[in-house]
Amino acid sequence: MLTCQQARVMGAFASGAKEASYPGEVGIAGSWPCRRRVLQLRGLGRGKPGMKITRQKHAKKHLGFFRNNFGVREPYQILLDGTFCQAALQGRIQLREQLPRYLMGETQLCTTRCVLKELETLGKDLYGAKLIAQKCQVRNCPHFKNAVSGSDCLFSMVEEGNPHHYFVASQDQNLSMKVKKKPGVPLMFIIQNTIVLDKPSPKTIAYVKAVESGQLVSVHEKQSIKQLKEEQGLVNNPEQRRRKKRKKISGPNPLSCLKKKKKAQDTKPSASEKKRKRKRIRNRSTSKVLSEKQNAEG
């Protein structure tokens, strides 16, 4: 029997594995002409040689936007969840080869311990997705003791300003909607066996406009200001505080552990040990000696 959490996760995997699923897109799950029209507008359709070039142009445009406004740089760190790995497996997509080619730069495939643990609990159906995730670099997440679901874990990694410039790669629509509400987080997904970098969300565009108008300070500018203050010594670096050596608990003084010496008993020195004292003989004057002799003769 599946628990409620496992059933919800399996539902996300099932929805992510559909060929026509697109996070946050309205009308794409309808009839095929509607889906085909949306794909053509986005440059994602297959069968035409110019579509691949158009798709790379869109990716280059979106990357330039995130690079200029949020400091995103190479190597691009892409956080994968189980739904994205499962979709790549079903679409026979070689992520290590196609992602650098699509983003036109060096990439790093990353995941978290919570995602790996989630794939292990879901069993043999997602064994292939688990193998893909195990080959990724594992990033430290704040859930050391109590693991959470993969979507919650990935959202926590980018929730507070996305300081490490992570890309979120997922087929989970709930996670995608949460990520779009956070400015400066690039979102990736797979549609029609094709990797797609989503355009900047309305929340992200509104944030950039507010920064340009002077109402807000961008995250990139905050980091550069903080770095300059640390270099000039205006701000105490918390890492330096941590590096200060703490006094170790020392043991007792080794001198205090020595046995006390017994005091020597006072003994009177013997007569033989006493030194003989010489009597001092005073010199008499010669005049006194002669007077005494004369008195004695008279």
pLDDT of residue 23: 43
Identify the pLDDT of residue 46: 47
- The larger pLDDT score, comparing residue 134 to residue 268, is at 134
d(CA 162, CA 183): 9
Give the residue with greater pLDDT, 242 vs 170: 170
- CA separation for the pair 190, 171 (Å, rounded): 7
Residue 76: φ, ψ to 5° = -75, 120
**CA 211 – CA 64 distance, rounded (Å):** 17
Which range has the worst mean pLDDT, 18-22, 142-146, 207-211, 231-235?
Answer: 18-22
Domains of the chain: 4-214 (3.40.50.1010)
The rounded distance, in Å, linking the Cα atoms of 259 and 213 is 79
Give the pLDDT confidence score for residue 22 in this predicted structure: 42
Residues 6+ apart with CB under 8 A from 204: 180, 183, 184, 185
Ranking 48-57, 63-72, 86-95, 129-138 by mean pLDDT, the lowest is 48-57
For tokens 């001092």, the residue is 280
What is the Cα–Cα distance from 58 to 62, expressed in whole angstroms?
6
- Which regions of 144-229 does DSSP assign to beta strands (E)? 166-169, 187-191, 194-197
Buried b (16+ CB within 10 A) or exposed e, 101-120: ebbeeebbbbbbebbbbbbe
Whether residue 162 has pLDDT greater than 80:
yes
pTM across the whole model: 0.61
**Is residue 50 very low, low, confident or very high in pLDDT (cuts 50, 70, 90)?**
low
Report pLDDT digits (tens) over 61-79: 999 999 999 989 999 999 9
Average pLDDT over residues 142-160: 90
Higher pLDDT, 139 or 27: 139
Over range 36-65, report the average pLDDT. 68
- Per-residue pLDDT of 110-141, as tens digits, reads 999 999 999 999 888 899 999 999 999 999 99
Answer yes or no: is pLDDT of 80 > 80. yes
DSSP helix/strand/coil, 139: strand
Burial of 95 (0-12, 13-18, 19+ CB in 10 A): buried
**What b/e string do you get for 60-80 counting C-beta neighbours within 10 Å, with b at 16 or more?**
eebbebbeebbbbeeebbbbb
Is the predicted pLDDT of residue 205 greater than 70, yes or no? yes
Half-sphere exposure of 187 (CA within 13 A, CB side): 24
- Is the CB of residue 24 less than 8 Å from the CB of residue 180? yes
162: CB partners within 8 A, 6+ apart: 70, 182, 184, 185, 219
pLDDT of residue 248: 66
Location of structure tokens 């992602």: 99
The whole-chain average pLDDT of the chain stands at 77
What does the pLDDT read at residue 259?
76
pLDDT at 163 over 70: yes
pLDDT (0 to 100) of residue 54:
85
d(CA 111, CA 139): 6
